A = this chain, B = another copy of it.
Amino acid sequence: MRRTAFLFSVFCAAQVGHAAALALMPMPAKMDLAEGALSIDAGFGVAPGTNARLASGVKRFLTRVWRQTGIFPSPSGPSATLEIVCAPCTASPVLSEDESYTLNVTPSSATLKSATVAGALHGLETFLQLIQPGPEGFRVPAVHIVDQPRFAWRGLMLDCSRHFLPLAVVERNLDAMAAVKLNVFHWHLSDDQGFRAESKLYPKLQQAGSDGMFYTQDQMREVVAYAAARGIRVVPEFDIPGHTLSWLVAYPELAAGTGPFEIGRHFGVFDPVLDPTREWTYTFLDGFIGEMAALFPDPFFHVGGDEVNGKAWNQSNGVQAFAKARGLKDTLALQTYFNQRILKVLQKYGKNMVGWDEILGPDLPQGAVIQSWRGAESLAAAASKGYRGILSADYYLDHLRPAAYHYAVDPLAGPSAQLTPEQASHILGGEACMWAELVDAETVDSRVWPRTAAIAERFWSPRELTDVDSMYARMEAVSRQLEWTGVTHRSSYGEMLDRLAGAWPVESLRVLADASEARGLGTGRPASDTQTPLNRFVDAARPESETVRHIELLARKLAGSRTADQADLTTLRAVFNLWAVNDARFQALAEDNALLAEIKPLSKDLAEVGTMGLKILGYWESGKPAPADWVTAQAKEIARMQRPNAEVLLAATRPVRILLDELAKR
């Protein structure tokens, strides 16, 4: 198997030889390769220029070089350098600032130029991705890159309410975001299941609404500074008037209707919401938003606004009387009234309103930003009315869809393709969303990464970049580099499998997990509640299997060629054999193990798939046709095995299916 089997056609055919050196994600806007490479050895160093704000970024960069290569800088100082030329700006990141950079690497030195710190940081991340092992050691290929983002708003939302994410988890995800040039951290800080921000004005919010798990004001300031140092804006979200059970536990007088209220333990849309008719509601929110506005310097402030089912308002005589008196004929009208009031509060504190697409009412002022989650139609509708918008529909990470699914979604495609250039310019970008019904501190990284890197490329790189094989090859390489930022999407996998195996050898469990893919919310896994342990096989399994993708590529190659490569056949046979014989060891491991009992059928299916693969290869090599009824029976079995089992898909069925389909044709 040649390397090019896995990392092909990265950019254009002529550059295939350089493919390994170009495992970049997001891909730069423009790149020209030259001959030779710059060595990364103990003599490598950085001339950071005069920009003081960049100093911490350069320090982090050098630590990453060390972690990526294992090479420690020489105590006697650098002999070859990366020179950074950056304007001496000191500002925090702001929307639509110039994030461009040029990076020029020759065999003897490198130069990075940018107008802003953000641009320089992006260039440093590109440089890190360019470092790869070569014939004489680690190196960066000679290259000239001129790069800038396609969209100005490239975000990741983390829901820290449904399951709390400790500060360290948030911070390591900020490092990983910076590595793929994302620039907005949308921090979902309150929801029915927990109020996660410390308020000094209304301390009962965190005291009664958080189970003791919240961020102090110092910690929130730290996150803002941490993000800013990495070129990332922080947009806090306090979701109102719905999704507010955790507020109402603390301040039941905010509710339309009476309590008692309890912190949400289950998930979904709850009826209790804020009361939009009482002045005290607005007094309270004015105080609270003022307090939070001082902590979060970004001029955008997210007020949620989603999933108000109207029941509490309909059931309240007071609210109904209020609505009638003002001619507010339904829930939407009441929510629009509420939003108008909140908008004034936000304006008082110098903030632009951001909200989910439900806030798009008839009288919404032009400054608001619409975040589309229910579909791209609302984004196009908002843009056509002159509202700014960001796309999140089909970027929901908690669905655990393949990276290719999200990669194919373009903020300017679909209904937005019909917009005029002026209207389209209102579409600022998009955000990947990590809702936390089914993730916690241990599993969140493996649900965010590496798939978010593919979404980040969609937001940054030229629209024409759509080759899925290239995307996967580069995403896999970048996934490993992301480890060096501190996220645990790869290392936690082994630890969680070890836990499931207890004291016993884990190999057979790992073979099964490598061949499996976890299903997500809305795609085969029901939500449970906040107290259900996330320690099952489905929690350890990855959303996409790298192992199976490699085997799929081999199967496709074999299916597409008349003369089979012997090495490919040998590899396929070894893997199918491993699958075929794995079940005996797995069943012994699963004996008396409550957590593994549910995947015993999955393991049996893997053995069946392996055996089937071996038989198909047998027909293949013998040159004899397979009996039609045998092929039909196998196809039926594969279809059965492709249904989720304990909320997990047997990904191993895919390459075998490819070979079976080809066998049927021959």
Contact = CB atoms under 8 A, between A and B. Distances in A.
B592 A503 contact: no
Contacts of A70: 442, 496, 499, 533-535, 539
B581 A533 contact: no
Contacts of A474: 503
Interface in A16-32: 19-21, 23
B591 A3 contact: yes
Interface string A566-603: 01001101100110010011001101111111000000
A504 interface: yes
A559 interface: no
Interface string A477-502: 10010011000001100111011111
Nearest to A514: B507
A134 B505 contact: no
A2 B588 CA distance: 6
Contacts of A574: 577-578, 581
Contacts of A74: 531
Contacts of A495: 480, 483-484, 490-491
Given A1-B584, A578-B578, A504 B20 contact: yes
Contacts of A68: 499
A72 interface: yes
B483 A592 contact: no
The copy count of this chain in the complex is: 2
Contacts of A309: none
A216 interface: no
A23 B503 contact: yes
B594 A505 contact: no
Interface in A430-489: 440, 442, 473-474, 476-477, 480, 483-484
Interface residues of A, number: 76
Nearest to A566: B584
Contacts of A581: 570-571, 573-574
A420 to B, nearest CB: 41
A649 B377 CA distance: 62
Contact of A494 (B19, B490, B596): B490
B135 A588 contact: no
A477 B503 CA distance: 4
A495 B496 CA distance: 16
A71 interface: yes
A133 interface: yes
Contacts of A589: 3
A360 to B, nearest CB: 37
B7 A504 contact: yes
A132 interface: yes
B71 A132 contact: no
Question: Interface SS of chain A: helix, strand, loop or mixed?
Answer: helix
Given A1-B584, A505-B550, A594 B136 contact: yes
A364 B473 CA distance: 67
A9 to B, nearest CB: 14
A623 interface: no
A546 interface: yes
B585 A1 contact: yes
A137 interface: yes
Contact of A535 (B19, B69, B535, B591): B69
A567 B594 contact: no
Nearest to A597: B135
Given A70-B442, A531-B42, A578-B574, A567 B584 contact: yes
Contacts of A498: 480, 483, 490
Nearest to A22: B503
A547 interface: yes
Contacts of A211: 75
Nearest to A21: B503
B69 A504 contact: no
Nearest to A500: B133
A195 interface: no
Contacts of A546: 505
A595 B68 CA distance: 13
Contact of A504 (B3, B75, B499): B3
A391 B567 CA distance: 53
A6 interface: yes
Q: 4 tightest CB-CB pairs across the interface, nearest first?
A: A70-B535, A477-B503, A23-B503, A491-B491
Given A3-B504, A6-B504, A477-B503, 13 more contacts: A3-B591, A23-B503, A42-B531, A69-B533, A70-B496, A70-B533, A133-B501, A137-B594, A473-B503, A474-B503, A477-B504, A480-B498, A571-B585
27 contacts: A1-B584, A2-B588, A3-B588, A3-B591, A20-B502, A21-B503, A70-B496, A71-B535, A133-B593, A134-B592, A134-B593, A134-B594, A135-B592, A476-B503, A477-B503, A480-B501, A480-B503, A480-B506, A490-B495, A490-B498, A494-B494, A507-B550, A567-B584, A567-B585, A571-B581, A571-B584, A578-B578
